[in-house]
Amino acid sequence: MPRESTLHLLLYATAGLLAVFLTIHVALHAPGLFYDTYKESVQRESVRKNYENFGWALVALLIVAVIHGLIGLRGILLELRQGPRWEAFVNFLVVFLGAYMLGLGTYTLLTWLGIIHFGG
């Protein structure tokens, strides 16, 4: 694990970036901006269009949200209990969850965009 100060610097940086990417995310669903209604913004075709037009922003949102959230979760879990085995478990858990969520999110996006095809 990196040093705690490095993790917290990352926490603060991702918090700033989250504000930017969450604004884009909310704007994509806000009525009257890109779509007339919220319901229209969550239709299959709208989501596909968002992925095509703002895929980079959504991947960035996924990355910063996962990093920010997992560093925060790690802090909470380390406060709940103490001990070397628990700390090792928590570190493993956040790395595993991070890899899983980033992998799943990126895979979903790439599949939707048709860059990779599940099952050939």
Partner 1 sequence: MGVNGNGRPATRVVKIRVRRYDPETGRRWWQEYRVEAKKGTTVLDALLRIKAEQDHTLAMRYSCRMGACGSCGMLINKMPRLACETQLLDLGTDTVTIEPLPNFPVLRDLITDFGDFFKKHRDIMPYIVRESKKENEEPYREYYMPPDELNKIIRFSYCIMCGLCYAACPVVAIDKKFLGPQALGQAYRWVTDVRDEGLRLRLEKVDDKHGVWRCHFAGSCSAACPKGVDPAQGIQLLRSKLVALTAGARREKKPTHVATPTTVRYVDVGDAPKPTVEDKSLLVKHLEETAQELEQDLPYVAQALRDYLRTITSS
Instruction: List residues near partner 1 by CB under 8 A.
Output: 3-9, 12, 75, 78-80, 82, 87
Of the candidates 42, 93, 43, 38, the one whose C-alpha atom is nearest the C-alpha of residue 70 is 93
**Least CB distance to partner 1 at residue 59 (A):** 25
Residue 87 or 93 with smaller CB distance to partner 1: 87
Give me the phi and psi of 94, to 5 degrees please. -70, -35
Residue 5 or 119 with smaller CB distance to partner 1: 5
Residue 10 or 110 with smaller CB distance to partner 1: 10
Residue 2 or 119 with smaller CB distance to partner 1: 2
**Least CB distance to partner 1 at residue 5 (A):** 4
Cα(26)–Cα(58) distance, integer angstroms? 11
Amino acid sitting at position 56: W
**Least CB distance to partner 1 at residue 8 (A):** 5
**Least CB distance to partner 1 at residue 65 (A):** 20
